[in-house]
Amino acid sequence: MDAVATLIEKLGGQTDVLARHGLSETEFIDALPAVIEKIRGRKSAAVADRKEFLKSLLQGLVDAGIADRLEVPKYGDDTVYRLAIEGFGDVAIIQKGCPDGNHSSIDWTAPDWAAETYLWWICDSPRYHPGEHIAKGVNRLRRRFFGDWSDTVDGVIFHNDLCGGPERRCPKQDRAVNLGGMVVPPPCVYVMPDREEGVREWNWNGTTERRFPALLLSAFGIHEDEASSFIGHVGFMETGRSRRNVIASRYGLGQATTYRS
C-alpha cells in the first residue's frame, strides 16, 4: 500500500506524463481526492452486487422448497449465510471474492453451528480463466489444510452472475434456470477433503461425500442419481517433502477435466 501511495505522489510531479493525458499538475492534485472516493464507491457497489447475487440465489433455494429458511448476515458481520435444511441441519455459505487472495481462501472461520460449510467464490475478474482462478484458490486452501488452523470447509463453489454469459461461457448452460430472478447455469462445486491422521492422500480420488452439493444442484433440475456427474472434488497428496493437488471438474455425464499439480 505504501508503494502505491508513493507512486501516486510521484505521478503528481510527472508533468510530461500528465500532459499526455491532457492534465496539468494542479488539475491532477485537485481531482485526486474525488477520484479516490469514486474508486471506493465502485468497490462498495461491487461488494453490494455480490451480496445481492448470492442472497437472491440462496433465497431461490428456499422458494423452491429445497431449503426451509435463509438467514442473511447483518451489516458489519462476516458474510456468512445460514441456510436451514430440514432433516439435515444448517449449511454455512461463506461469501468470498476471487480465490487468489488470502482474504478469500485463508482468512475465514467455519461456524460451530454448521453441518457443512462452503466457501462461495464470487469472482468477476477476467484476469484468469475460471479454472486458473480455482487452482490459485486451492493452492492457498492446501496451505491452510496442512497448517495450524483447526477448522475446514466441506467444499468450495465458484459462481457468479457472469457465468453462462458472453464473458464466461459455461458447458452446463443447457441446465440454466431462473433462480431468484436470475437465469444462471449450475455452479461449479468441489468437495474438499477431511483431515485424517496417518494417511498420505486426502480425497485424492474423490471418495469424500457431502450432502449439500446435490441439494444445490437439484434447484437446476439435476436429479440425485446424476448429481455425481456435476460435482467436482479437490484432493491433496503428500509424498516425501512434496505436497500435490488434484482438482476434478465435472460438467455432466462423461464430461470432466482433471488438473494435478
Domain range annotation of the chain: 2-260
Q: How would you classify the pairing of strands 177-179 and 80-85? A: unpaired
Residue bearing cell 440465489: 57
DSSP for 24-80, written as a single string: -HHHHHHHHHHHHHHHHHHHHHHHHHHHHHHHHHHHHHHHTTS-SEEEPPPTTS--E
Q: Report the chain's terminal Cα–Cα distance, integer Å.
A: 32
Q: How far apart are CA 202 and CA 205, in angstroms?
A: 8
pLDDT given at position 32: 65
pLDDT given at position 41: 39
Q: pTM value?
A: 0.79
Residue 258: half-sphere exposure toward Cβ, Cα within 13 Å: 9
| 203, 233 Cβ separation under 8 angstroms | yes
**pLDDT, tens only, 24-69:** 777 767 666 655 544 443 443 344 566 788 998 899 899 999 999 9
Q: Please give the share of the chain, as a percent, with pLDDT higher than 90.
A: 55
**Does residue 88 register a pLDDT over 50?**
yes
**pLDDT, tens only, 192-213:** 999 988 899 999 999 999 999 9
**pLDDT, tens only, 120-139:** 999 988 888 888 999 999 99
Strands (E), the chain: 69-71, 80-85, 89-96, 116-121, 155-158, 177-179, 182-184, 188-191, 201-202, 231-239, 242-252, 255-260
Angle at 118 between CA 178 and CA 128, to 5 degrees: 75
